[in-house]
Amino acid sequence: MRELFRRQPRFTTSDDEDARSKVPEDLWVKCPKCGELAYTKEHLQTHRVCQRCGYHFRLAARERIDLLADEGSFVEWDTDLTTDDPLGFSVDGESYADKARKTAAKSGMAEAVISGEIAVDGQLLAIVVTDFSFMGASMGAVYGEKLARAAERAVAGCTPLLTISASGGARMQEGLFSLMQMAKTTAALTRLTEQRLPHIALLTDPCYGGVTASYATVADMIVAEPGALIGFAGPRVIEQTIRQKLPEGFQTAEFLLEHGLIDRVVPRSALKPMIGSLMRIYQQAAGCLVPPAILASEVADA
């Protein structure tokens, strides 16, 4: 029966280009974990969580914003930063510059992160969200710069910072510049600490390497989505090193929780209210008693 539905012609109601691009690619979505089929409309309404087994599908950065933002509250920052190719990196005849351009066109993302100001459950925050569809959300200079600026703007505006990360790690194509983004982003967070402003990190599937080993894991509170794979080295590298199969559930959010590495595993549906509650608690931390050292206008001019 299900196959019959699948073969129905795609559903279009308008010739208008914008409207047409919003039509889901398929009417049904199949859960890769339990095989359950869900009507796409319901799948999106439940923020891409399987209603049968609780599997959390990956979300695009914009979907993350939609999930958390109070209606119309998101204001994006630093949309003018573009990928540079400092090494003149090229493999097999394709330059990094070309690859970044193609990826941008395909993913609809200018780079691997978006940042901005957002209200969540009535609480104002600075937010940085990665999008895995842009080169595995690897961290290069634009990613690092946007994150550092967001931290500095959080200080200037006296707001907490929420980072939501899925990433393959540092971006190979920018060489050591990428490694140094780990130092740059992490250093920027020390400015929040000076003002007693909290940094909350949400780790999502998958999160590895240079991102897990820098800003994302020095947060005041670290939460992860159910089932998310999180680690330093990837499973393949570890298997090669130890020459044995990895245990069931290795590097999942639940595994990290058991090993005392993260604070909570939070299902997507509970995220927004939890952040709201948390922010109301932190409000009494007397953050920003010291006048901010950096003014928002100075950051914007830098």
Among the residue ranges 24-32, 39-47, 216-224, 264-272, the one whose residues contact another protein (CB under 8 A): 216-224
- Does 214 participate in binding another protein (rule CB under 8 A)? yes
Pick one of 116, 144, 160, 227: the residue that binds another protein (CB under 8 A): 144
Q: Does 228 bind another protein (CB under 8 A)?
A: no
279 in contact with another protein (CB under 8 A): no
Asked if residue 137 lies in contact with residue 131, where contact means CB atoms within 8 angstroms, the answer is yes
Which parts of 43-82 interact with another protein (CB under 8 A)?
79-82
Residues in the chain: 302
From 44, 158, 180, 274, residue interacting with another protein (rule: CB under 8 A)? 180
Bridging pattern class, strands 123-130 and 113-120: antiparallel
CA distances from 278 to 120, 170, 198, 201 (A): 11, 30, 10, 12
294 part of the interface to another protein, by CB under 8 A: no
Segment contacting another protein by CB under 8 A, of 40-48, 127-135, 255-263, 266-274: 255-263
Query: Contact between 290 and another protein (CB under 8 A)?
Result: no
Which CB sits closer to another protein, 73 or 90? 90
**Closer residue to another protein in complex, CB, 11/250:** 250
Q: Of 72 and 260, which has the nearer Cβ to another protein?
A: 260
d(C-alpha 54, C-alpha 228), whole Å: 12
What kind and span of H or E run contains 210?
helix 209-212
200 binds another protein (CB under 8 A): no
Residue 153 binds to another protein (criterion: CB under 8 A): no
> Which residues share a beta bridge with 125?
118
The DSSP string of 59-80 is --HHHHHHHH--TT--EEE-TT
CB 222 within 8 A of CB 262: yes
Verify binding: residue 104, another protein, rule CB under 8 A.
no
Q: Please name the helix (run of DSSP H) or strand (run of DSSP E) that holds residue 143, with its range, or none.
A: helix 141-157
Residue 125: Cβ within 10 Å count: 24
Q: Which residues in this chain contact another protein in the complex, by CB under 8 A?
A: 79-84, 86-87, 89-92, 140-142, 144-145, 148, 168, 170-172, 174-184, 186-190, 209-210, 212-218, 231-233, 237-238, 241-242, 246-247, 250-251, 259-261
